[in-house]
């Protein structure tokens, strides 16, 4: 149980294009999903918290107009990297909370974005 999928698993795009990443909870409903970014040999950095049906909460320093988050249903959240640049190249990982009192998070397999 508690499986989270992400699509695509990797993407290469040209600078200036937009990339959409999907995060799905496959066997549970996730009222809250989280988006992280991880650069090589660094820790996960929380970008934003996404609640179903409401606006995402962005961490300090994360541009909400550049990283668009939509959490349209209890099983799907999307992250769109708009006008991507090479410095946006990173490993993007989503997670979903089961909503239990202990709030364990389960992670998607990640999306490796490379912007040329």
Partner 1 sequence: RKEVEQDPGPFNVPEGATVAFNCTYSNSASQSFFWYRQDCRKEPKLLMSVYSSGNEDGRFTAQLNRASQYISLLIRDSKLSDSATYLCVVNAYSSASKIIFGSGTRLSIRP
Positions that interact with partner 1 (CB under 8 A): 32, 34, 42-44, 46, 49, 57, 91, 93, 97, 99, 102-110, 112
Could you tell me the smallest distance in angstroms from the CB atom of residue 73 to partner 1? Answer: 18
Task: Using DSSP bridges, classify how beta strands 4-7 and 45-51 pair: parallel, antiparallel or unpaired.
Answer: unpaired
Distance CA 93, CA 6 (A): 8
Tokens of residue 40, six digits: 């090589």
Closest CA to 56 of 68, 73, 66, 74: 68
Indicate the residue among 14 and 53 with the shorter CB distance to partner 1: 53
Could you tell me the smallest distance in angstroms from the CB atom of residue 34 to partner 1? Answer: 7
Indicate the residue among 2 and 82 with the shorter CB distance to partner 1: 2
């Amino acid at each position: 149980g508690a499986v989270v999928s992400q699509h695509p698993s990797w993407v290469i795009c040209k600078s200036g294009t937009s990339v959409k990443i999907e995060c799905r909870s496959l066997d549970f409903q996730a009222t809250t999903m989280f988006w992280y970014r991880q650069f090589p040999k660094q820790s996960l950095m929380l970008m934003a918290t996404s609640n179903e049906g409401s606006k995402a909460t962005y961490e300090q320093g994360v541009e909400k107009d550049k990283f668009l988050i939509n959490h349209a249903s209890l099983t799907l959240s999307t992250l769109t990297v708009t006008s991507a640049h090479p410095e946006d190249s990173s490993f993007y990982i989503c997670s979903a909370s089961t909503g239990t009192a202990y709030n364990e998070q389960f992670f998607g397999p990640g999306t490796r974005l490379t912007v040329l």
